[in-house]
Amino acid sequence: MLDNCALITLVHAVSWSGSLTLPVCSHALPGVSAAHLYFILWNCQLMLSYRHAFHAGNHADVLKHYVQIQLLQYLNQKDTAYSYIDTHSGAGVYALDGGYASKNAEYETGIAPLWDRTDLPASLAEYLKLIKEMNPSGKMRYYPGSPYCADQVSREQDRLRLFELHPADAKILADNFRKVEAHAQAQGERPSVRGKRVIITKADGFQSLKALLPPPSRRALVLIDPPYEDKMDYRKVKDTLADALVRFPSGIYAVWYPVLQRMESRQFADKLKQLPATEWLHVTLTVNTPSPDGFGLHSSGMFILNPPYTLEPMLREVMPYLVKVLGRDDGAKFVLETGKGGVRNTGTRRV
């Protein structure tokens, strides 16, 4: 009988590689026929859904959370409050020595190589500082999710609206924030202020975004970070952004996505470039040549609509460094491009 962890690992292997040779798989799992395995996996994929804990702290998280923090810090430059809306929040905090994260230990090729570096570019050092502060013992035990990064970087006047659909992760997220809140109160913060500041909802983030736009202060960062296990997520991201840009054209929208062989992924950035935002920025980080069997995540991207002018120069400095430190073979590289929104295959500037 397969244990839960093995099963979930297989589900993830299927979803990120796009396919899995089931005969090979059932060979590795004697007593389970290919047809039976396919049936189990198909059902589990629908049932269990994605758990970010498997991937916490990997190279894709490094890129995503580094960019997220830069965007929030840009918004911090003005006193006016802003909303941070996380449509796909995950659990908020991950234990790297816990069952899920330690299973594949993806953080070993993500945050780990950065941990003891003393030559980090300044903006990357700020990202690392946030993570080190949640690990006061100095040992790398916890990794923050996007809601925790937002909580740490935003100010008292800002509003965090966090959505998570998976019942288990929504509960862990709420529990984690209760702990953060208890800690903040112990430090002397007024509970009523924090109560209004962070609202966690177990709901579909794509659908829920509509009601929050435009935000009262007309300033917001929206992070859209779905699992993409269901290829419909690519379409949903684009449709959600098209709707959001009508409701709130000047918002900053940041989308994470996995760079995969599947057509939806390959065409994704080009489709987002056609959205009617004033400007866009697209950055990808590839850490190794794709493996012949298609296993593993070798590359991911962030696509930002209405990026602040500060982001591109920071990425120009940080991306070569990330390639140098996280790159695993000659296939490691980054791509950084910017352009004006709403145009088909023109106006792109590689930087």
Which residues participate in catalysis according to the annotation?
225
Using rule CB under 6 A, residue 52 touches ligand SAM: yes
The minimum distance between CB 277 and ligand SAM, in angstroms, equals: 21
Q: Which is nearer to ligand SAM, 302 or 336 (CB)?
A: 302
Using rule CB under 6 A, residue 58 touches ligand SAM: no
Task: Give the C-alpha separation, 241 to 303, whole Å.
Answer: 11
In sequence order, what are the residues at sequence separation of 6 or more whose Cβ sits closer than 8 angstroms to the Cβ of residue 153? Answer: 69, 72, 73, 76, 130
Using rule CB under 6 A, residue 175 touches ligand SAM: no
Using rule CB under 6 A, residue 50 touches ligand SAM: yes
Please report which helix (H) or strand (E) contains residue 232, including its range: helix 232-247
Using rule CB under 6 A, residue 166 touches ligand SAM: yes
Q: Which tokens sit at 345? A: 């295959």
Using rule CB under 6 A, residue 240 touches ligand SAM: no
Task: Give the C-alpha separation, 328 to 71, whole Å.
Answer: 28
C-alpha pair distances (Å), 131 with each of 5, 17, 78, 92, 148? 26, 29, 25, 13, 10
Residue 239 and residue 272 in contact, taking contact as beta carbons nearer than 8 Å:
no
Which residue among 14, 164, 176, 314 contacts ligand SAM (CB under 6 A)? 164
Q: Which candidate, 161, 277, 288, 137, places its Cα nearest to that of 224?
A: 161
For tokens 């966690």, the residue is 200
Q: Which is nearer to ligand SAM, 22 or 304 (CB)?
A: 304
Task: Give the C-alpha separation, 180 to 174, whole Å.
Answer: 10
Residue 337 and residue 350 in contact, taking contact as beta carbons nearer than 8 Å:
yes
Which residue(s) pair with 222 in the sheet? 85, 253
Which single residue brings its beta carbon nearest to ligand SAM?
145
Instruction: Fill in the DSSP letter of residue 57.
Output: T
In sequence order, what are the residues at sequence separation of 6 or more whose Cβ sits closer than 8 angstroms to the Cβ of residue 186? Answer: none
Using rule CB under 6 A, residue 151 touches ligand SAM: no
Stretch that binds ligand SAM, among 69-77, 163-171, 283-291, 312-320 (CB under 6 A): 163-171
Size of the site for ligand SAM (CB under 6 A): 21
Q: Which tokens sit at 4? A: 């839960």
The interface mask with ligand SAM, positions 182-211, x = CB under 6 A, is ----------------------xxx-----
Q: Which is nearer to ligand SAM, 90 or 215 (CB)?
A: 90
Contacts to ligand SAM from residues 279-298, by CB under 6 A: none
Which residue among 227, 251, 308, 341 contacts ligand SAM (CB under 6 A)? 227
The interface mask with ligand SAM, positions 76-95, x = CB under 6 A, is -----------xxxx-----
The site for ligand SAM (CB under 6 A) is made up of 49-50, 52, 64, 87-90, 145-146, 163-166, 169, 204-206, 225-227
